[in-house]
Amino acid sequence: MSDKQIPYKIYLEESELPKAWYNLRADMNNKPAPLLNPETHKPMTASDLSGIFCDELIAQELDDTTHYFDIPKEILDFYKMYRPAPLVRAYCLEEKLQTPAKIYYKFEGNNTSGSHKLNSAIAQAYYAKKQGLKGVTTETGAGQWGTALSMACSYLGLDCNVYMVKVSYEQKPFRREVMRTYGASVTPSPSMETEVGRKILAEYPGTTGSLGCAISEAVEKAGSNEGYRYVLGSVLNQVMLHQSVIGLETKAAMDKYGIKPDIIIGCAGGGSNLGGLISPFMGEKLRGEADYRFIAVEPASCPSLTRGKYAYDFCDTGKVCPLSKMYTLGSSYIPAPNHAGGLRYHGMNSTLSQLYADGYMEATTVTQTEVFKAATEFARVEGILPAPESSHAIKAAIDEALKCKETGEEKTILFGLTGTGYFDMVAYQKFNDGQMENYIPTDAEIQASLDKLPKID
Amino acid sequence: MSDKQIPYKIYLEESELPKAWYNLRADMNNKPAPLLNPETHKPMTASDLSGIFCDELIAQELDDTTHYFDIPKEILDFYKMYRPAPLVRAYCLEEKLQTPAKIYYKFEGNNTSGSHKLNSAIAQAYYAKKQGLKGVTTETGAGQWGTALSMACSYLGLDCNVYMVKVSYEQKPFRREVMRTYGASVTPSPSMETEVGRKILAEYPGTTGSLGCAISEAVEKAGSNEGYRYVLGSVLNQVMLHQSVIGLETKAAMDKYGIKPDIIIGCAGGGSNLGGLISPFMGEKLRGEADYRFIAVEPASCPSLTRGKYAYDFCDTGKVCPLSKMYTLGSSYIPAPNHAGGLRYHGMNSTLSQLYADGYMEATTVTQTEVFKAATEFARVEGILPAPESSHAIKAAIDEALKCKETGEEKTILFGLTGTGYFDMVAYQKFNDGQMENYIPTDAEIQASLDKLPKID
């Protein structure tokens, strides 16, 4: 099909939308290693997990053979609020770069939570509701996941308790207010509400909190309250399953117009967006039906794939969650305080980790000043003010497009634009004022954290 | 057509999009009164205006006979970034209200500026560029218009100077940073850059500024700089012309599916959104082809249509702009400081004023706590976090839907959802904390301001 017949923004028709999530693990010969019980070091069973997670989500988490899971009608109905997400041809960016490459991006930011996180939030809230639970607990850092979850819970009439890292709660009050507007209770962490919170406050009276501590509080709260479960917005394979809707829609839109991407790029924190975007394309690659280059883009300050170790580690700093085999910097690794660009997770989803270990995917790092420069360049020509996280992918896409300019190749580049940066203007301000700094950890720093990895036989 | 065949969200195809703006004045028997020169009190001529505004915009401003103006291709190309805007059936809100009414809203917030303002910003920036100008100047309060203009200027490579009311510049830094990210220069007003700014600062050293002062600075800067003109985001008839794209798209979408609204509701500040939304429907009413109820919704704290006087007045507090005949509270009227909901303009677009005077349109007021209650209710079921301005229309739409519930009538209600509230979380926080107060001016207060209206023979 000629370029002229392809709409500038592709919105699928309702009849063309995915009706089932795709479970990439089912097409892998080398399955991701199982989650381990943090005490016994034996593979986690459904009953081990049932006090923490909802039953159907546990089933999805542990299933590496079922290819497709039907999306419940209630979730499809909710999707209608903000899906389909458009697949956009970045004509203006191409012109700005004077590249022969064709650049597409899948934009997931057209909803109030401002990111792709809503895709899994509604799924997790739905299964909690279906199980007859009263509510869910979770943690949030800057607040993207907490916002998404509060929207989903509000829609379903489910109670939503968010533990928000205290420093974010105080310094980034706007996402907190979005959550409250959606009816969530938002507690600065550490709090006096939980045993672990009280213990940490007694030990470190002035602490401003950490994501690891907030996870521990949310897990304790779920475990100690009848009718509550804990939910998590990234890292888990259930999340990647829900997020496959990103890739399925993208692939359907591209197939409809006969577009085949050569390179697929996603930013990589815990892996929820990257995994979701690449899933159906990676499935084709695993089955030998097509070939693509996949590039995971990490912040230079938190480089789990590129500089971490492939090993069993705790998913949380508080070490209460199961052990996962993944590329990790060690659960005690914390990015430098000047890191403003999100993607601060120490590890990586286990499925993506296995694929990377097996050579199916590349990874690269970018510094945050490069990221904000790319974000600004993108905003000025494409209109959308991107989230810092998404801008990691923009930076890598621009680099690939500039390589095409040198070689004259007309490659088709696809990247995931996961969200908007409206709540990240403090970071933009730093960049605009020329006060943003980069941080690249030394090998010794990373090694110090890796030295604390749990010993698994 | 049955409801089942109507998509939940209607996006027009590219071929169905409006290619020309509709000039409602051409269909009016009673034309709006002409702008007057503030010194001579004679009708403004094109040459009177040419030092302030761009030539083609002046032609649009003064033309009340041409029915349609072709939308230039460059603007249509820009529209593709964020248009068509979806027309959404508010199924979840209907269910929540248990109303037999069918509620539709036209959502204009799906762009980084977060509102419909971008429709006129790109048009005004385009004509400035076409005239070979270097840049434009404008003022902004909370920053919606300034953001939209900076996006448009960045796209066209035009310099953009925004005078931002000092108190907003300091207390609402995030929109300022969005503007800077798009390359605009943002100056807190009053500033030392202009004569009027220096004069005001000398007289009131600690002043935090006002919209009127910022307008005066922007106009002075445009007049004193070669290659610059002043642009304005509301009130003017050229703005209403550009905003007719909202109504034209809405009507095309409704006609396509055989939907006929009974009631059309818009929030009303200067009138840019209300005028744009109702234009093609009002045209039908004026030509006797169809009938609709139109409702303008004002804040109780700034009730120009419902409690103002239909008279010639200054468009700006600084009294440097032309006189316009309109419903006005007097150019010295300033809403109470606790007013958080936008729509703070003292007057109303002259076309809408004439139509209201002639009985073609109704108007109503709502208090801001009612507005934020409606906003929260809407957000929780429909997902979108609405701008306070838009939420005035939501409140009125809910009220009409509840009347239908009482009477059992299946009316079709259409309202304009002009934008998102991401940069208004301070106001939401006040509401969430139960600390938002209402203010309704006394008759004496309004009269005191009306007493200062200019005397026109």
- Chain segment B134-175, per-residue pLDDT in tens: 999 999 987 899 999 999 999 999 999 999 988 888 888 899
A414 contacts A265 by C-beta, under 8 angstroms: yes
Amino acid B333: pLDDT: 86
Inform me whether the C-beta atom of residue B37 falls under 8 Å from chain A C-beta atoms: no
Angstrom CA distances, B63 to A246, B22, B231, B241, B283, stand at 48, 12, 18, 10, 16
Size of interface A-B (CB pairs under 8 A): 104
Smallest CA–CA distance, residue B141 to chain A, in Å, is: 18
Amino acid A325: pLDDT: 97
B417 contacts B388 by C-beta, under 8 angstroms: no
Inform me whether the C-beta atom of residue A177 falls under 8 Å from chain B C-beta atoms: yes
- The tokens for B124 are 């005004």
Nearest to A181 among B81, B180, B376 (CB): B376
Amino acid A4: pLDDT: 62
Residue B430: HSE in the Cβ half-sphere, 13 Å Cα cutoff: 16
Smallest CA–CA distance, residue B93 to chain A, in Å, is: 11
Q: Which fold has domain B84-114+237-450?
A: Rossmann fold (3.40.50)
Cβ–Cβ gap B422/A422 under 8 Å = yes
Cβ–Cβ gap B182/A380 under 8 Å = yes
Smallest CA–CA distance, residue B345 to chain A, in Å, is: 26
Cβ–Cβ gap B383/A112 under 8 Å = yes
Cβ–Cβ gap B112/A383 under 8 Å = yes
Smallest CA–CA distance, residue B444 to chain A, in Å, is: 37
Burial of A77 (0-12, 13-18, 19+ CB in 10 A): middle
Q: What is the pLDDT of residues A349-382, one digit of tens each?
A: 999 999 999 999 999 999 999 999 999 999 999 9
User: φ, ψ for residue A427 (rounded to 5)?
Assistant: -70, -45
pTM of the complete model: 0.94
Amino acid A5: pLDDT: 75
Angstrom CA distances, B16 to B12, B69, B81, B141, B283, stand at 6, 17, 16, 35, 20
Q: For the residues B3-26, what does the mean pLDDT come to?
A: 90
- The tokens for A195 are 């045993």
In this prediction, the residues of chain A whose per-residue pLDDT falls under 50 are none
Contacts of A280 (CB under 8 A, 6+ apart): A22, A244, A247, A248, A250, A251
A contacts of B379 (beta carbons < 8 Å): 112, 154, 181-182
For chain A, the structural domain boundaries read 26-70+117-230, 84-114+237-450
Nearest Cα neighbor of B274 from B348, B211, B327, B328 is B348
- Tell the residue number behind the tokens 């003292």, with chain if given: B346
- The tokens for B220 are 């002075």
- The tokens for B257 are 């599916």
Q: Are strands B362-366 and B87-89 parallel, antiparallel or unpaired?
A: unpaired
Cβ–Cβ gap B380/A429 under 8 Å = no
Q: What is the pLDDT of residues B28-39, one digit of tens each?
A: 999 999 999 988
Cβ–Cβ gap A80/B9 under 8 Å = yes
> Residue A90 forms beta bridges with which residues?
none
Q: For the residues B41-70, what does the mean pLDDT come to?
A: 95
DSSP 8-state secondary structure symbol assigned to residue B41: -
Nearest Cα neighbor of B229 from B324, B95, B291, B138 is B138
- The tokens for A11 are 């919105």
> Residue B87 forms beta bridges with which residues?
B10, B106
Q: What is the pLDDT of residues B82-136, one digit of tens each?
A: 999 999 999 999 999 999 999 999 999 999 999 999 999 999 999 999 999 999 9
Q: What's the CA gap between A276 and A267, in Å, rounded?
A: 11
B154 contacts B160 by C-beta, under 8 angstroms: yes
Nearest to A110 among B110, B174, B429 (CB): B110
Inform me whether the C-beta atom of residue B383 falls under 8 Å from chain A C-beta atoms: yes
H helices present in B349-450, as ranges: 350-357, 368-382, 388-407, 425-432, 443-450
Amino acid B2: pLDDT: 65
User: φ, ψ for residue B245 (rounded to 5)?
Assistant: -60, -30
User: φ, ψ for residue A4 (rounded to 5)?
Assistant: -65, -25
* Higher local confidence (pLDDT), B254 or A199: B254
Cβ–Cβ gap A177/B429 under 8 Å = yes
Q: What is the largest CA-CA distance in chain A?
A: 66
Buried-exposed string B223-253: b where 16+ CB fall within 10 A, e elsewhere? eeeeebbbbbbbbbbbbbbbbbbbbbbbbbb
Inform me whether the C-beta atom of residue A3 falls under 8 Å from chain B C-beta atoms: no
Smallest CA–CA distance, residue A291 to chain B, in Å, is: 31
Cβ–Cβ gap B428/A178 under 8 Å = yes
Q: What's the CA gap between B291 and B278, in Å, rounded?
A: 12
- ipTM higher than threshold 0.90: yes
Q: Which residue of B380, B384, B390 to mutate against A (max A Cβ within 10 Å)? A: B380
Q: Left (φ > 0), alpha (ψ -120 to 50) or beta: where does B211 sit?
A: alpha
Amino acid A1: pLDDT: 56
Smallest CA–CA distance, residue B432 to chain A, in Å, is: 7
Amino acid B171: pLDDT: 80
Cβ–Cβ gap B432/A177 under 8 Å = yes
Q: Which chain B residue's Cα is nearest to A374?
A: B181
Q: What's the CA gap between A301 and A335, in Å, rounded?
A: 6
Q: What's the CA gap between A66 and A409, in Å, rounded?
A: 39
From 3.40.50.1100, 3.10.580.10, 1.10.10.10, 3.30.1490.190, which CATH number describes the A26-70+117-230 domain? 3.40.50.1100
Nearest Cα neighbor of A385 from B43, B433, B291, B151 is B151
B contacts of A379 (beta carbons < 8 Å): 112, 154, 181-182
Amino acid B211: pLDDT: 79
Q: Are strands A9-10 and A20-22 parallel, antiparallel or unpaired?
A: unpaired
Cβ–Cβ gap A381/B81 under 8 Å = no
Q: Which chain A residue's Cα is nearest to B175?
A: A425
Restricting to A residues 211-250, those with a Cβ less than 8 Å away from any Cβ of B are: none
Q: Residue B263 above 90 pLDDT?
A: yes
Buried-exposed string A19-45: b where 16+ CB fall within 10 A, e elsewhere? eebbbbbebbeeebbbbbebeeeeebe
Nearest to A428 among B7, B8, B181 (CB): B181
A contacts of B383 (beta carbons < 8 Å): 81-82, 111-112, 151, 155
Amino acid B4: pLDDT: 61
Smallest CA–CA distance, residue A175 to chain B, in Å, is: 8
User: φ, ψ for residue A147 (rounded to 5)?
Assistant: -65, -45
Contacts of A205 (CB under 8 A, 6+ apart): none
- The tokens for A176 are 């907190």
Q: Residue B457 above 80 pLDDT?
A: no
Cβ–Cβ gap B385/A178 under 8 Å = yes
A299 contacts A348 by C-beta, under 8 angstroms: no
* Higher local confidence (pLDDT), A248 or B215: A248
